Amino acid sequence: MSETEKQAINRNTLLKSVDKPGRYSGGEYGQIIKDKDRVKARFAFLFPDTYEIGMSNLGVRILYGALNRFDDIWCERVYAPWVDMEDKMRQLGLPLTAHESKDPVRDFDFLGITLQYEMSYTNVLNCIDLSGIPHFACDRSEDDPLVIGGGPCAYNPEPVADFFDLFNIGEGEEMLPSIVHLYIEMKEEGRYTRKAFLHEAAATIQGVYVPSLYEVSYNADGTIAAYKPLYDDIPKSVRKQIVEDMDTAYFPEHVVMPYIETVHDRIMLEVFRGCIRGCRFCQAGIIYRPVREKTPECLDRQAKCLYDSTGYDEISLTSLAIDDYSQLDELTDQLMSWTNERKISLSLPSLRVDSFTKELMEKIVSVRTSSLTFAMEAGTQRLRDVINKNVTEEELMRAMNVAFTGGKSQVKLYFMQGLPTETQEDLAGIPALASRVLDLFYATPDRPKGKPPKVTISVSPFIPKPFTPFQWEPQDSLQTMRDKQDYIGQLVHDPKIRYEHHEAQICRIEAVLARGDRRIGRALELAQKKGFRFDAWSEHFDYDRWISVFREAGIDPDFYACRRWGTDEVLPWDVIDCGVSKAFLLREREKAYAQKTTPNCRQQCSGCGANKLGGVRSCCPKARS
């Protein structure tokens, strides 16, 4: 019996002994199968978390199809096995395999890994280890897969830089096929070596970052002295690549249909990319600039295709802030002209209080539920001005009046604690604002009768993130974070107000990883060897073990999380160019301390620099001109 046949028997036996075998069975409707003897490059696409989460990620769906539309490339899916499955795989000596073919990941040409959140880094290393691929890029042979990273965390790739051969900085629909086709071309021409490919990719494809082609030096105080390219044709900083025209960008007309329930079992329609707002703590609002919209006609056509191929009865319109779409009324009217008769619901997440209207509420699925969610971020107008939230309490109350009159009885409000310049008054303003929302409910004559009101306040500690005006700011100490959480809780007296807060310890580790440099890699490798995995899951996170690992690796977590960084300091992510200038971020930081706001991009161009990247149907006046 061959080794492949033995592994197949082991897998089949294994599925009967683990929770949710549908996570691993494969064979779903819509999966793409190709003849591996007729393709020229195989790409294993890893989402380093559970199947249910990975199957719900729109970016993975897009890139899976974008690669597979080429006859000479076969992209397959890979997910992190849950702990019960991993334990049995290690006992039986089974490697991590691709979902479609069940072939070992180590036999592929590429292993692509999406980096969606910092707390997945130990899963990343664990999956590389399960694949039988050396952790460090420098230890890999010519026959090992090229490990490529992408996603939002790739904008500071340094904590995991030593584990990746290259990074895809920016949007991958066009860049990833270019990378793979360069590989195919060099193979066919007989000039491929791992070193030659990485050099040529970095030198010729915008958005490709190869860490091994840069030398990093450090100052005596531990800060970074410089990044130096090792060759003259390697860019000093790697500028992200974007898709300029979203109407012509690849979007899947068919998706893989899961056999088990996933986080988002629905059609996800990407309406636009980028954000016209400029919240000063928000990384996504910066790195996804410039705004590029799809036309209602394009979106309507894509929605119909996905409905015909999936039969889902809900369409979620996705973006960072859906009501910032300039043609939202036209789009929803066009969709409802055929979705109503088919009993398909429209879902509009990420709504803002300043644009929430009765007409909008009547169009969305949430009108049939009792709850709405809004992000206010701060408890006082002063602090909302500091962070450039550009919403007021009056706008919140107007939106709540619309909601209560329309039959709503529950609302969830998101806030942050530990923001720069924060005072006790700002913290006290959080439960006080929740109380005023409750008062408004009882003061609304047409409020829903027989439905008890509930206001949930969810508070998250501030985490300084790269490419934000607050990237230089310190995070509160762990004890201060906990003290603030207790203080807010002590001010919640009404049982109709529910108080939730994120775990301060997880936020501390996330801050270290978010602002980390290459030296953090030592701690990550040590953590993986000690069995760390699924650290984004509270039941598997162990703060004391993390601190022990940092200590053993010679890492001071406060150096990365709690220090106010110098504005003239070389940052770990300075080797990456997201298209928004550091001068703009510094101007916004100064305006924050002056409590001055910046208009959104549709009202006035703030000169961030992103318009130079191009883009069709952009909201930036300079980009349009």
Domain boundaries, the chain: 3-239, 267-519+555-613
* Integer Cα distance of 373 and 556 in angstroms: 37
Contact 110, 41 (CB under 8 A): yes
Place of tokens 């200038």: 581
* Integer Cα distance of 359 and 227 in angstroms: 53
Nearest to 266, CA basis, from 516, 12, 55: 55
Q: Do domains 3-239 and 267-519+555-613 have the same CATH topology?
A: no
Q: Give the class (CATH, top level) of 267-519+555-613.
A: alpha beta
H-type helices in 189-295, by residue range?
Answer: 194-204, 284-287
Contact 437, 481 (CB under 8 A): no
Q: How far does the chain reach from its first CA to its final CA, in angstroms? A: 67
Q: How big is the chain, counted in residues?
A: 625
Cis amide bond preceding 420, omega within 30: no
Query: Would you give the distance in Å from CA 194 to the centre of its chain?
Result: 29
Q: What's domain 3-239's architecture?
A: 3-Layer(aba) Sandwich (3.40)
H-type helices in 189-229, by residue range?
Answer: 194-204
* Integer Cα distance of 553 and 450 in angstroms: 58
387: CB partners within 8 A, 6+ apart: 279, 280, 281, 377, 378, 416, 419, 592
State which amino acid sits at residue 113: I
* Integer Cα distance of 149 and 207 in angstroms: 12
Q: How many other CB atoms are there within 10 angstroms of residue 523's CB atom?
A: 24
Burial of 258 (0-12, 13-18, 19+ CB in 10 A): middle
> What's the pLDDT at 119?
97
> What's the pLDDT at 624?
46
Burial of 330 (0-12, 13-18, 19+ CB in 10 A): middle
> What's the pLDDT at 10?
66
State which amino acid sits at residue 494: D
Residue 110, strand partner residues: 43, 146
Q: ∠ at Cα 266 (263, 269), nearest 5°?
A: 115
Contact 458, 501 (CB under 8 A): yes
Q: How many other CB atoms are there within 10 angstroms of residue 503's CB atom?
A: 16
Task: Indicate if the alpha-carbon torsion angle 264, 269, 273, 279 is positive or negative.
Answer: negative
CA distances from 448 to 364, 487, 496 (A): 18, 32, 16
Beginning with the edge strand found earlier in the chain, give each strand of the sheet holding 73-79 in spatial order. 73-79, 41-47, 110-114, 146-150, 166-168, 208-209
Structure tokens at 383: 């602090």
Q: How many other CB atoms are there within 10 angstroms of residue 1's CB atom?
A: 7
* Integer Cα distance of 333 and 36 in angstroms: 45
> What's the pLDDT at 124?
98
Contact 160, 182 (CB under 8 A): no
**Low pLDDT (below 50) residues in the chain:** 366-368, 370, 623-625
pLDDT tens-place string over residues 565-599 = 999 999 999 999 999 999 999 999 999 999 999 99
